[in-house]
Amino acid sequence: MDLRKMKGLQIAATGKIKEIEGGWLVPSQSSNKTYFVTSIDNKCTCPDCKAGRAEFCKHAYAVKYFLQVEKPTGETHRVPLTKGQAWHAYNLAQTSEVNLFDKLLRDLLESVQELEYKFGRPPLPLREQLFCAVQKVYSQLSSRRAESLFNLAEI
């Protein structure tokens, strides 16, 4: 076994590796320093990694052993990383989506200039026409089914 792998196994056995955003904090064996190993490419902030002496330093191996992604024998497997669903935020977003969309659309249509009325039957306000058209496309309903949404168009 490679010396770096053996030292990584010793560090992992201490259980002092801590997960932080973007990676892991791994303690040094020879001092009270800690080194950061990124979760993306397993690069470390230690002098060994900075000098580019090896593909993985002992700290990167320690993280692999700590997570049991790699066994000391060299055998590897994937660790399933799952996070819980934020159901409260998800439900809140789902139940308030249409109201927020209407509010944003109204704010957007505030800047629309109305056409000048010249003669004949007065047209519907341009803002209401645009509101209905965008609402119909957004809802993906037929015109007949979206008619109830058009009642909200009175801006």
pLDDT score of 125: 86
For residues 98 and 44, state if they share a domain.
no
Same domain assignment for residues 58 and 97: no
In a domain, 25, yes or no: yes
The pLDDT score that the predictor gives to residue 64 is 84
Task: Output the average pLDDT for the chain.
Answer: 83
Q: What is the pLDDT of residue 105?
A: 92
Could you give the 3-state DSSP secondary structure of residue 69? coil
Q: Does residue 79 lie within any of the structural domains?
A: no
Q: Is residue 33 situated within a structural domain?
A: yes
Q: Is there a single domain that holds both residue 101 and residue 50?
A: no
Instruction: Give how far the C-alpha of residue 53 lies from the chain's centroid of Cα atoms, to the nearest Å.
Output: 34
Q: Are residues 62 and 103 in the same domain?
A: no
Kindly report the length of the chain.
Answer: 155
Residue 19 lies in a domain: yes
Is 96 within a domain? yes
When pLDDT is averaged across residues 43-70 and rounded to a whole number, the result is: 82
Nearest Cα to 56, choosing from 123, 137, 105, 2? Answer: 2
Give 109's pLDDT tier (boundaries 50, 70, 90): very high
Domain boundary (67, 99, 119) is at: 67
> What is the residue range of 55's domain?
3-67
Question: Does residue 53 carry a pLDDT above 80?
Answer: no
In Å, what is the CA distance from 76 to each residue of 18, 41, 69, 123, 150? 21, 16, 6, 70, 59
Let me know if residue 115 belongs to a domain. Answer: yes
Indicate if the pLDDT at residue 147 is higher than 70.
Answer: yes
Q: How many domains does the chain have?
A: 2
Which pLDDT belongs to residue 50?
81
**Is residue 61 a part of any domain in this protein?**
yes
Based on the domain organization, do 63 and 95 belong to the same domain?
Answer: no
State yes or no: pLDDT of 83 exceeds 70. no
Which of 38, 67, 96 is the last residue in one of the domains?
67
Domain identity same for 54 and 104: no
pLDDT at 67 (0 to 100) = 81
Determine if residue 22 is left, alpha or beta; phi over 0 gives left, psi from -120 to 50 gives alpha, anything else beta. Answer: left
pLDDT at 104: 92
pLDDT above 80: residue 76: no
Asked if residue 76 is part of any domain, the answer here is no
Say if residue 106's pLDDT is above 70. Answer: yes
